[in-house]
Amino acid sequence: AQSVTQPDIHITVSEGASLELRCNYSYGATPYLFWYVQSPGQGLQLLLKYFSGDTLVQGIKGFEAEFKRSQSSFNLRKPSVHWSDAAEYFCAVGASGATNKLIFGTGTLLAVQP
Protein backbone atom coordinates (compact mmCIF):
# COMPACT_ATOMS: atom_id res chain seq x y z
CA ALA A 1 0.00 0.00 0.00
CA GLN A 2 1.10 3.53 -0.67
CA SER A 3 2.33 5.67 2.18
CA VAL A 4 4.03 8.99 2.75
CA THR A 5 6.39 9.94 5.56
CA GLN A 6 7.30 13.47 6.51
CA PRO A 7 9.87 12.99 9.26
CA ASP A 8 9.94 16.60 10.42
CA ILE A 9 6.87 17.70 12.32
CA HIS A 10 8.11 21.24 12.88
CA ILE A 11 10.94 23.27 11.36
CA THR A 12 12.11 26.79 12.12
CA VAL A 13 14.29 28.74 9.72
CA SER A 14 15.44 32.33 9.56
CA GLU A 15 14.12 34.60 6.87
CA GLY A 16 16.44 34.50 3.88
CA ALA A 17 17.83 31.08 4.76
CA SER A 18 17.42 28.06 2.51
CA LEU A 19 14.80 25.43 3.20
CA GLU A 20 14.47 21.73 2.59
CA LEU A 21 11.44 19.73 3.69
CA ARG A 22 11.74 15.99 3.54
CA CYS A 23 9.27 13.54 2.08
CA ASN A 24 9.65 9.80 1.63
CA TYR A 25 7.10 7.62 -0.07
CA SER A 26 6.32 3.98 -0.47
CA TYR A 27 4.96 2.93 -3.83
CA GLY A 28 5.46 0.02 -6.17
CA ALA A 29 5.63 1.93 -9.43
CA THR A 30 6.39 5.42 -10.66
CA PRO A 31 4.31 7.56 -8.39
CA TYR A 32 2.43 10.77 -8.80
CA LEU A 33 3.86 13.10 -6.13
CA PHE A 34 2.53 16.38 -4.85
CA TRP A 35 3.40 19.15 -2.44
CA TYR A 36 0.58 21.24 -0.99
CA VAL A 37 0.78 24.23 1.33
CA GLN A 38 -1.80 25.22 3.93
CA SER A 39 -1.74 28.70 5.40
CA PRO A 40 -3.49 29.21 8.75
CA GLY A 41 -7.24 28.97 8.40
CA GLN A 42 -7.03 28.17 4.71
CA GLY A 43 -7.48 25.18 2.45
CA LEU A 44 -4.63 23.37 0.76
CA GLN A 45 -2.99 24.89 -2.28
CA LEU A 46 -0.89 22.96 -4.77
CA LEU A 47 2.75 24.03 -4.88
CA LEU A 48 4.00 21.54 -7.46
CA LYS A 49 3.62 17.99 -8.67
CA TYR A 50 5.63 15.28 -10.40
CA PHE A 51 4.35 12.47 -12.57
CA SER A 52 6.99 11.94 -15.24
CA GLY A 53 9.89 13.53 -17.07
CA ASP A 54 12.40 15.86 -15.50
CA THR A 55 12.98 14.87 -11.91
CA LEU A 56 13.45 18.48 -10.81
CA VAL A 57 10.08 20.15 -10.68
CA GLN A 58 9.48 23.87 -10.38
CA GLY A 59 6.46 25.18 -8.59
CA ILE A 60 4.83 28.36 -7.47
CA LYS A 61 6.27 30.84 -4.97
CA GLY A 62 9.85 29.90 -5.85
CA PHE A 63 9.63 26.31 -4.61
CA GLU A 64 11.12 23.29 -6.30
CA ALA A 65 11.25 19.58 -5.54
CA GLU A 66 13.42 16.74 -6.73
CA PHE A 67 12.22 13.21 -7.31
CA LYS A 68 14.85 10.64 -6.38
CA ARG A 69 13.68 7.15 -7.16
CA SER A 70 16.69 5.48 -5.53
CA GLN A 71 15.89 7.18 -2.23
CA SER A 72 12.10 7.12 -2.57
CA SER A 73 12.16 10.80 -1.81
CA PHE A 74 10.54 13.97 -3.06
CA ASN A 75 12.06 16.76 -0.99
CA LEU A 76 10.83 20.33 -1.26
CA ARG A 77 13.34 23.17 -1.44
CA LYS A 78 13.47 26.92 -1.54
CA PRO A 79 16.72 28.89 -1.75
CA SER A 80 15.56 31.86 0.32
CA VAL A 81 12.61 31.74 2.66
CA HIS A 82 10.24 34.67 3.14
CA TRP A 83 8.18 35.34 6.24
CA SER A 84 5.04 34.65 4.19
CA ASP A 85 6.18 31.06 3.67
CA ALA A 86 5.26 30.22 7.25
CA ALA A 87 2.60 27.53 6.84
CA GLU A 88 2.08 23.80 6.97
CA TYR A 89 3.39 21.74 4.07
CA PHE A 90 1.96 18.41 2.99
CA CYS A 91 3.50 15.83 0.72
CA ALA A 92 1.14 13.43 -1.04
CA VAL A 93 1.35 10.42 -3.32
CA GLY A 94 -1.25 9.47 -5.87
CA ALA A 95 -2.84 6.08 -5.28
CA SER A 96 -2.64 3.39 -7.90
CA GLY A 97 -5.26 3.19 -10.59
CA ALA A 98 -7.12 5.98 -12.27
CA THR A 99 -8.87 7.05 -9.10
CA ASN A 100 -7.04 10.28 -8.34
CA LYS A 101 -7.05 9.35 -4.67
CA LEU A 102 -4.19 10.97 -2.71
CA ILE A 103 -2.38 9.69 0.34
CA PHE A 104 -1.13 12.58 2.45
CA GLY A 105 1.76 12.78 4.87
CA THR A 106 1.30 14.18 8.35
CA GLY A 107 2.62 17.58 7.37
CA THR A 108 5.56 19.78 8.37
CA LEU A 109 4.86 23.05 10.12
CA LEU A 110 7.28 25.75 9.03
CA ALA A 111 8.02 28.74 11.23
CA VAL A 112 10.07 31.64 9.88
CA GLN A 113 12.13 33.79 12.23
CA PRO A 114 12.78 37.43 11.34
Size of the site for another protein (CB under 8 A): 21
> Could you give the CA distance from residue 22 to residue 35 in angstroms, rounded to a whole number?
11
Q: What is the DSSP string of 37-60?
A: EE-TTS-EEEEEEESSS-SEEE-G
**12, 26, 42, 80: residue in contact with another protein (rule CB under 8 A):** 42
Please check whether residue 104 is in contact with residue 3, taking contact to mean a CB–CB distance below 8 angstroms: no
79 to 108: interface string for another protein, x by CB under 8 A: -----------x---x--xxxxxx-x-xx-
Q: Is 44 in the site for another protein (CB under 8 A)?
A: yes
Of the candidates 33, 16, 39, which has an alpha carbon nearest to the alpha carbon of residue 68? 33
**18, 45, 84, 113: residue in contact with another protein (rule CB under 8 A):** 45
Residues near another protein (CB under 8 A): 32, 34, 36, 42-46, 49, 51, 90, 94, 97-102, 104, 106-107
